[in-house]
Amino acid sequence: MPEREDGLLGSRQTKLNRLRERGVDPYPPRFRRTADAAAAIAAFEAAEPVEPAPGVEFRIAHPDAAVETPQHSLAGRIMSMRVMGRAAFLDLRDGSGTVQAMLRQNLLGEDYDLLKDLDLGDFLGVTGPMLRTRTGQVSIEAHTLTLLAKGMRPLPEKWHGLRDVEIRYRQRYLDLIADPEIMTAFAQRSRVISGIRRFLDGRGFLEVDTPILVPVAAGAHARPFDTHHNALNQRLYLRIATELYLKRLIVGGFDKVYELGRVFRNEGIDQDHNPEFTLLESYEAYADYHQVMEMVESMISTVAMEVRGTMQIPYGEEVIDFTPPWPRLQLKDELYRRSGVDLDAYPEDAALVRKAADLGLEVGPRESRGRLIDKLVSTFIEPNLVQPTFLLDYPEVMSPLAKAKPGLPGYVERFEAFAAGMEIANSYTELNDPAVQRARFEEQESIRQLYQDEEVDRLDEDFLTALEYGMPPTGGLGVGIDRLAMLLTGQASIRDVLLFPQMRRLGAGANMDEQDIQD
Partner RNA sequence: GGGCCGUUAGCUCAGCUGGUAGAGCACCGGACUUUUAAUCCGGGUGUCGUGGGUUCGAUCCCCACACGGCCCA
Interface ranges with RNA (CB under 7 A):
6-8, 11, 15, 60-61, 80-87, 89, 100, 102, 104-106, 119-120, 133-137, 139, 153-154, 156-167, 169, 268, 270-271, 362, 364, 493, 495, 503-509
Residue 90, beta-bridge partner list:
81, 101
Residue 426, beta-bridge partner list:
416, 478
In terms of C-beta density within 10 A (0-12 exposed, 13-18 middle, 19 or more buried), how is residue 441 classed? buried
Identify which of residues 126 and 246 has a Cβ nearer to RNA in the complex: 126
Amino acid 113 reads D
Cα–Cα distance measured from residue 42 to residue 29, given in angstroms and rounded to the nearest whole number = 28
477 neighbors 282 (Cβ within 8 angstroms): yes
170 neighbors 503 (Cβ within 8 angstroms): yes
Provide the minimum distance between the beta carbon of 132 and RNA in the complex, in angstroms, as a whole number: 8
Identify which of residues 343 and 498 has a Cβ nearer to RNA in the complex: 498
Residue 279, beta-bridge partner list:
261, 480
Provide the minimum distance between the beta carbon of 485 and RNA in the complex, in angstroms, as a whole number: 16
- ∠ CA 34-37-39, nearest 5°, is 70
Identify which of residues 47 and 165 has a Cβ nearer to RNA in the complex: 165
Identify which of residues 40 and 196 has a Cβ nearer to RNA in the complex: 40
Cα–Cα distance measured from residue 341 to residue 207, given in angstroms and rounded to the nearest whole number = 42
Identify which of residues 178 and 299 has a Cβ nearer to RNA in the complex: 178
Provide the minimum distance between the beta carbon of 255 and RNA in the complex, in angstroms, as a whole number: 40
Amino acid 228 reads H
449 neighbors 228 (Cβ within 8 angstroms): no
Identify which of residues 26 and 195 has a Cβ nearer to RNA in the complex: 26
Provide the minimum distance between the beta carbon of 391 and RNA in the complex, in angstroms, as a whole number: 20
Identify which of residues 350 and 508 has a Cβ nearer to RNA in the complex: 508
Provide the minimum distance between the beta carbon of 227 and RNA in the complex, in angstroms, as a whole number: 21
Provide the minimum distance between the beta carbon of 46 and RNA in the complex, in angstroms, as a whole number: 20
Identify which of residues 163 and 328 has a Cβ nearer to RNA in the complex: 163
| End-to-end C-alpha distance for the chain, whole angstroms | 33
Provide the minimum distance between the beta carbon of 54 and RNA in the complex, in angstroms, as a whole number: 17
φ/ψ of residue 214, rounded to 5:
-130, 150
Pick from 418, 404, 426, 403: nearest CA to 282: 426
Identify which of residues 79 and 212 has a Cβ nearer to RNA in the complex: 79
In 3-state terms, what secondary structure has residue 115?
helix
Residue 131, beta-bridge partner list:
139
Cα–Cα distance measured from residue 149 to residue 29, given in angstroms and rounded to the nearest whole number = 9
Cα–Cα distance measured from residue 239 to residue 32, given in angstroms and rounded to the nearest whole number = 44
Provide the minimum distance between the beta carbon of 112 and RNA in the complex, in angstroms, as a whole number: 9
Provide the minimum distance between the beta carbon of 55 and RNA in the complex, in angstroms, as a whole number: 17
